[in-house]
Amino acid sequence: MKYLYILLLFFAFTFADTQYRRTPPFGVADKDNKSSKHLGDYTHSHETVDKSTYSCHSIGECEVCSPLEMKTQQYCLEFGNKEAVRCEWDDPELADKKSQIQIYEDDAISLPSFRACPRVKSVERARFIKFEGFNAAVAVISVIVFTWRQRKIMREQYQRLAQRIGVTVV
């Protein structure tokens, strides 16, 4: 009975963080939400720009957003993770024109510097290790219970056989 309570406590602490998961399961894609496909949705200053006029590529790894970013930044709302990107204008004429705009101008167009990403490698690695550790613990506990049960059954059978024959068992 004591082991059952310990096992239940282990389950409670192991699965306590499942309600805070932000990444979707593997293979799940939201086809209606197009914000992850177009980087123009991540900053407020370029809603009027045609999204095909610039292209972006990743320059960093996926990392967890800070609590403030989760509340304020559009790219952190989807998964709670962000990835640094470098965006460049596709049209050289447009790039020259946009570089001449002053930085402090209200209608200046700024390209996104981050985008949403579904999984952080370090978080996924920790989850994998926790999962494998849990499986190993269940396997060890199962082998111990199986061995104990087999020995108990063999002892009872030996005692019954000894009682039928009339041998005294110590």
Q: How many domains, in total, are found in the chain?
A: 2
- In this prediction the pTM is 0.49
Does residue 16 fall inside a structural domain? no
> Same structural domain for residues 106 and 49?
yes
User: Which structure tokens are listed for 106?
Assistant: 């209200």
How far is Cα 142 from Cα 165, in angstroms, rounded to an integer? 35
pLDDT digits (tens, 9 = 90+) for 137-152: 999 999 999 999 999 9
pLDDT digits (tens, 9 = 90+) for 81-117: 999 888 888 776 665 655 544 444 555 567 788 899 8
pLDDT at 12 (0 to 100): 60
> Same structural domain for residues 114 and 36?
yes
> Same structural domain for residues 82 and 151?
no
pLDDT at 9 (0 to 100): 60
pLDDT at 24 (0 to 100): 47
Among 30-44, 53-67, 130-144, the minimum mean pLDDT is found in: 30-44
> CB-based contacts of 122: which residues, under 8 Å, 6+ apart?
none
> Same structural domain for residues 102 and 138?
no
Whether the pLDDT of residue 18 is over 70: the answer is no
- Residue 56 · residue 86 · CB < 8 Å: yes
Which residue in this structure is represented by tokens 């049960």? 149
Does residue 160 fall inside a structural domain? yes
Domain that holds residue 61: 32-119
Whether the pLDDT of residue 133 is over 90: the answer is yes
How far is Cα 35 from Cα 73, in angstroms, rounded to an integer? 13
Whether the pLDDT of residue 37 is over 70: the answer is no
Of the candidates 96, 119, 142, which is a domain's last residue?
119
> Same structural domain for residues 85 and 134?
no
- Higher pLDDT, residue 139 or 45: 139
Q: What is the mean pLDDT of residues 145-160?
A: 96
> Same structural domain for residues 55 and 81?
yes
Whether the pLDDT of residue 79 is over 60: the answer is yes
Going by C-alpha positions, the residue among 118, 64, 112 that lies closest to residue 85 is 112
